Amino acid sequence: MTQTLAIKNFNTILYCKKWRQTAVFYKDDLKLPISFETEWFVEFKVSDRACLSVADESKATINSSNGAGITLTFQTDDIHKAWELLHNKGLAPGSIKEHAWGAEVFYLFDPEGHRIEIWSLM
């Protein structure tokens, strides 16, 4: 019998050189609610069991990846409404594209350079 790891919650931590700007981006531009905050770490609630955190690399034991090799994906019900909302905030989302796997998707970047994929099923 194979046993599995029983995961209750999920959190991704982004270590940032541009910590303050990145925290403001997720709080004010993407409107993610804060579930925990210190002077160098902010945890945002993405869903009931998933969080996204940003940490100031100068206070942490891990350095920033400068956004390299990381894509955060967020599913939404209305891709066009999401694109319009972010475009109207001046965030420069890329154009909406159709993917072969049956979804529409667009990309934008946070201040640290992490790629964000917003997608919706077609």
Share of the chain above pLDDT 90, in %: 94
pTM for the model stands at 0.91
Whether the predicted pLDDT of 55 surpasses 70: yes
Residue 1 falls within a domain, yes or no? no
Residue 5 falls within a domain, yes or no? no
Domain interval for residue 32: 10-121
Number of domains the chain contains? 1
Residue 42 falls within a domain, yes or no? yes
CATH number at residue 64: 3.10.180.10
* Residues composing the chain: 122
Note the pLDDT of residue 1: 67
Q: pLDDT digits over 107-117, tens only? A: 999 999 999 99
Q: pLDDT digits over 30-45, tens only? A: 999 999 999 999 999 9
